[in-house]
Structure 1
Amino acid sequence: MSLRATPYNALVTAPTTQSADVCEVACVHPEAVVLAKSALPDERCATEATNFLKLLGDTTRLKILSALQTTELCVCDLASVVGISESAVSHQLRLLRTGRLVAFRKEGRVVYYRLADEHVTTLIRSALEHARE
């Protein structure tokens, strides 16, 4: 297999099979690869971000988080809003709390939940906006 340089500093090999969604030649652009690699997160950050996004991958949890964009709510309120049992809401909130997506405060015998920070709010709004387009 012979390699040849292109005007864009790419290394090109012999043509590959034809497909509309892949390159017609095996071609590596070294400068672009270096730039892309510099954008990769470290392993710890990638793992935490993946775990964070997995928590958003559940309809019930997304509904809970969406409801919490408006105001603090207790488990009873969230159960009424989302339409599931308090036990089910409590289970989902435990996962969201562990993942640092929600925070809580206790007032007497009532526990109020809120979104942990503005990052969570921004991500939820962006995801829903993307889904609506």
Structure 2
Amino acid sequence: MLEDSQVIPDEAAALDDDITDDTFVEVAVEVFAMLADATRVRLVLALDSGELSVNALAERVGKSPTAVSQHLAKLRMARMVSTRQNGNRVFYRLVDTHVSKLVQDAIHQAEHTVGAPIRHHHGEG
């Protein structure tokens, strides 16, 4: 029987390939850096429910529309959000569910870290 730390040689080679792919590691670091801002995390959480305008997002995260636009521009450059224009209004949405899942996992980890009640273990979050 294998212990948790033991890996079958063929699996080890595959894991090494995955772990040492510098491109993915470097891009992952950039993703974490992009999300290392409370406003951007709040924007991702707000957009998890669907597309919203800049003004609606500003209201939800408690920041000015100008500040929110600057954060959204960074998220857009990182290909985490996309836009749709309707007249003079711009609506933002998440490109896919990956960033949302990452933020939710970070929130769940934060619950463990601060010793808060662990809501996600009870299907509540």
Across the two proteins, how many residue pairs are aligned to each other? 104
Note the C-alpha offset of 1:83. 0.9
1:132 to 111, 116, 121: 111
User: Structure 1's 37 and 90: CA in aligned 2 closer, same or farther, altered over 3 A?
Assistant: same
User: 1:77-96 maps to which residues of 2 (within 5 A)?
Assistant: 77-96=56-75
Note the C-alpha offset of 1:123. 1.1
Q: TM-score with structure 2 length normalisation? A: 0.73
Note the C-alpha offset of 1:63. 0.6
User: 1:28-107 maps to which residues of 2 (within 5 A)?
Assistant: 37-107=16-86
Tell me which amino acid in the other structure corresponds to 2:82: A
> Structure 2 CA distance, aligned partners of 1:46 and 1:35?
16
> Structure 1 CA distance, aligned partners of 2:100 and 2:13?
33
> Structure 1 CA distance, aligned partners of 2:85 and 2:62?
23
When Rg is computed on C-alpha atoms for both structures, the one with the higher figure is 1
SS in structure 2 at match of 1:79: helix
- CA deviations over 1:77-123 (Å, ceiling 9, x no partner): 11111111111000000000001111111111111001110111211
Q: Tell me the equivalent position of 1:3.
A: none
Q: TM-score with structure 1 length normalisation? A: 0.69
Q: Tell me the equivalent position of 2:3.
A: none
Structure with more relative contact order (C-alpha pairs < 8 Å, separation 6 or more) = 2
> Structure 2 CA distance, aligned partners of 1:99 and 1:89?
15
Give the number of the structure whose residues are more often helix, by fraction: 2
> Structure 2 CA distance, aligned partners of 1:36 and 1:117?
26
Q: Tell me the equivalent position of 1:21.
A: none
Query: Which blocks of at least 5 consecutive residues in structure 1 are unaligned?
Result: 1-32
Greater shift, 122-131 or 109-118, is seen at 122-131
Query: Which blocks of at least 5 consecutive residues in structure 2 are unaligned?
Result: 1-11, 113-125
Note the C-alpha offset of 1:36. 5.7
RMSD of aligned Cα (Å): 2.2
